[in-house]
Chain A
Amino acid sequence: MTAAGFADTLVSALIVIGAGFALVGSWGLVRLPSLMERLHGPTKASTLGLGAILVASVLWFHLARGVWTTHELLVSVFLFMTAPISANMVAKVHLHRLRQREPSERPGPAGAPAAPPSGADWATHEAPHEGTPGDFVGD
């Protein structure tokens, strides 16, 4: 196999692997039973699926154009910073709507979450106590 042929094969393989993980994540979105389970698909598939595609992009630019690109690194950093936050927001809205007993909001197989053992409620339902992270009253 020629060097160019090898490079093309490697890049194609990475793209197919990445697309495969993205597909599995989307399939999870369809088949998992309720919102909280479905949330696992997109937050995860995006990590490895996109990771493989970004590595393919770096390799292609290096092997075909002879340059090292660094933008892919930034894309993955921003993705890793934003994916957990959007997932967290969706989960918080879900908790809030469950508590409000919105008719369209149904708990999943795990039921509604129990209150924390300390007697305080979850932060979605109760303002942060004094002296805890997020309490800016004293600042």
Chain B
Amino acid sequence: MTARLFPHPGLTVLLVTMWVVMVGEVSFGALFLGLVVGIVVPIFTAPWWPGRPPVRFLPAAAYCGIVLWDIVVANFHVAAIILFKPTRDLRPAWLTIPLELTTPEAITVFAGTISLTPGTVSADVSACGNYLLVHALHAPDPAGEVAKVKARYEARLKEIFA
């Protein structure tokens, strides 16, 4: 019964939270409407979540913190490149990152993280699903850049989606 009503408890919690945040107050009406949305939407979208990987929430929260911090730090980095680095000194490069992540959800989060952290934009994934194509704004050492991204983000995502 509970499983039929809440096929995706995490999504239900997320939707209720989003609804309350959108309304801007914690009231009975907001919680009730949020709960209706939180129950109806997962039931109707269940066919689009075939195999769902389990998510560890504590490492996921830590990961969000790290990414937010990196966004702030690296924004200054890219601003400095844009303002002070002449185009002839710029070394843009395509990076091919071999993926150890296997689930679509993990790869999506990895690609999104790469795009949000300045200096890199993810462009494509290989048809076999084993490589990510990333464009770097300034990467004099492409191999080092790949190793850095893998160590900082992919290793943590492997723990989250373990």
Interface of A toward B, CB cutoff 8 Å: 21, 24-25, 27-28, 31-34, 36-37, 39-41, 43-45, 47-48, 51, 69-71, 73-74, 80-81, 83-85, 87-88, 91-92, 94-95, 108-111, 113-114, 116-129, 132-134, 139
Please tell me if the beta carbons of A128 and B71 are within 8 angstroms of each other in the complex: no
Tally B residues with Cβ within 8 Å of A: 46
Name the one of A37, A83, A122 contacting B92, with C-beta atoms under 8 angstroms. A37
Q: Can you give 24 A-B contacts (C-beta < 8 A)?
A: A21-B79, A25-B82, A33-B87, A33-B90, A40-B137, A47-B75, A47-B116, A47-B118, A51-B71, A80-B112, A84-B112, A91-B135, A113-B123, A114-B94, A116-B126, A116-B130, A117-B131, A118-B128, A122-B126, A124-B124, A126-B127, A129-B129, A134-B104, A134-B125
In the complex, per-residue mask of B89-111: 1 if CB is within 8 Å of any chain A CB, else 0? 01111101010001110010001
- The verdict on A114 contacting B96 (CB below 8 Å), with A36-B135, A47-B75, A123-B126 known, is yes
- The verdict on A88 contacting B129 (CB below 8 Å), with A32-B82, A110-B94 known, is no
Please tell me if the beta carbons of B126 and A118 are within 8 angstroms of each other in the complex: yes
The main secondary structure of chain B at its interface with chain A is mixed
Give the shortest distance, in Å, between B79 (CB) and chain A (any CB). 5
B83 at the interface (CB under 8 A from A): yes
Please tell me if the beta carbons of A44 and B78 are within 8 angstroms of each other in the complex: yes
Query: How many residue pairs, one in A and one in B, have C-beta atoms under 8 Å apart?
Result: 162
- The verdict on A133 contacting B24 (CB below 8 Å), with A33-B87, A37-B137, A110-B94 known, is no
Closest-by-CB residue of B relative to A132 is B129
In the bound complex, residues from chain B placing their C-beta under 8 Å from that of A44 are 74-75, 78, 116, 118
In the bound complex, residues from chain B placing their C-beta under 8 Å from that of A122 are 124-127, 133
In the bound complex, residues from chain B placing their C-beta under 8 Å from that of A40 are 78, 118-119, 121, 137
